[in-house]
């Protein structure tokens, strides 16, 4: 397997992909990498698989210029995969002919061997201080400012709550807004990109895992990982999250910063609710997010199109 980053796509990366001579080209994001992958697949006469995401379906397909690019790539692909039925259904509203080659493959949950890391000691946060985690790269669609505002309102409700942002800076404008907001806030922390070998320690040190995304592709990694590790989940009420987080069953849902604060307060105060939510969520992930089953599903798709 060879992984090539397409944004930006360097000439060295293009040559590396061509010299690798793959049997199958698999692109993640129809718009962000689909055109490059389609060009490569056509030049090498290899089948093309596209994994579509929430950005493709909820943003690019509604963009007047990007829509036809996305649809042309998907129509040319030999197979399309997505993580959730809801995303496939939304895609087929734009082109029902794609149904015959669209496969729903839930993500599997897996962590590499872990390092023990005392996150709270690193941040100088005592064990009794509520800590909310937003594990997401810094970009507008992830709405980190919504998370910041929600925790600010939570503090106004009388909780000495802190928030931790973990993720790579992908959009400098969004980072500028966030960094200015947290500059003088001792209750707000940014760690940058944390190695996967330490992420279990990060999750376990936090009291609530947030997802504040404007849209999602059906199985946000942060939510699945948090559910697996039995952390309470608080997620934005968008289609991709609603297919995974069921209100008062596997997590809580919010629509704005004020509701985020109120729901977070409820999670922090109601121990019985927390226990029920994390047990239900863990059970769901254990039943639906098997990495072996995920790998077998992709192999089946590859075998079918490689013929």
Q: Given phi > 0 = left and psi -120 to 50 = alpha, else beta, which region is 143?
A: left
Does 191 or 55 have the greater pLDDT score? 191
Q: What confidence tens digit (pLDDT) does each residue in 46-58 have?
A: 999 999 988 888 8
Place of tokens 């376990």: 204
Q: What is the pLDDT of residue 231?
A: 98
Asked if residue 145 has pLDDT above 90, the reply is: yes
| Distances, alpha carbon 306 to alpha carbons 4, 48, 49, 78, 125, in Å | 21, 10, 11, 9, 53
The pTM of this model reads: 0.84
Q: Which domains does the chain have, with CATH numbers?
A: 11-108+290-306 (3.40.50.2000), 119-279 (3.40.50.2000)
pLDDT in tens, 47-96: 999 999 888 888 888 888 889 999 999 999 999 999 888 889 989 999 99
């Amino acid at each position: 397997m060879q992984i090539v980053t397409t944004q930006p796509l360097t000439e060295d990366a293009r040559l590396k992909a061509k010299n690798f001579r793959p049997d199958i080209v698999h692109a993640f994001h129809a718009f962000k990498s689909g055109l490059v992958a389609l060009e490569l697949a056509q030049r090498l006469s290899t089948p093309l698989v596209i994994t579509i995401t929430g950005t493709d379906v909820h943003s690019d397909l509604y963009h007047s210029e990007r829509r036809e690019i996305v649809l042309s790539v998907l129509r040319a692909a030999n197979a399309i995969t997505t993580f959730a039925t809801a995303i496939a259904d939304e895609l087929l509203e734009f082109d029902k002919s794609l149904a015959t080659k669209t496969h729903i493959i839930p993500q599997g949950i897996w962590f590499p061997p872990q390092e023990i890391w005392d996150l709270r000691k690193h941040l100088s946060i005592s064990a009794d201080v509520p800590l909310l985690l937003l594990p997401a790269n810094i970009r507008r669609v992830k709405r980190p400012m919504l998370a910041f505002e929600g925790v600010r309102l939570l503090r106004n409700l009388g909780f000495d709550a802190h928030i931790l942002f973990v993720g790579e800076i992908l959009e400098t404008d969004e980072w500028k807004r966030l960094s200015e907001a947290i500059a003088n806030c001792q209750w707000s922390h940014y760690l940058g990109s944390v190695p996967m070998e330490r992420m279990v320690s990060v999750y376990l040190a936090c009291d609530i895992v947030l997802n504040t995304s404007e849209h999602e592709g059906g199985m946000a990694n942060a939510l699945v990982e948090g559910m697996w590790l039995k952390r309470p989940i608080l997620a934005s009420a968008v289609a991709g999250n609603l297919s995974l987080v069921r209100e008062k069953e596997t997590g809580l849902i919010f629509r704005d910063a004020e509701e985020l604060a109120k729901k977070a307060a409820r999670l922090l105060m109601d121990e019985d609710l927390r226990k029920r939510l994390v047990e239900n969520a863990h059970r769901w992930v254990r039943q639906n997010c098997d990495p072996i089953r995920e790998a077998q599903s992709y192999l089946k798709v590859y075998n079918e199109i490689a013929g």
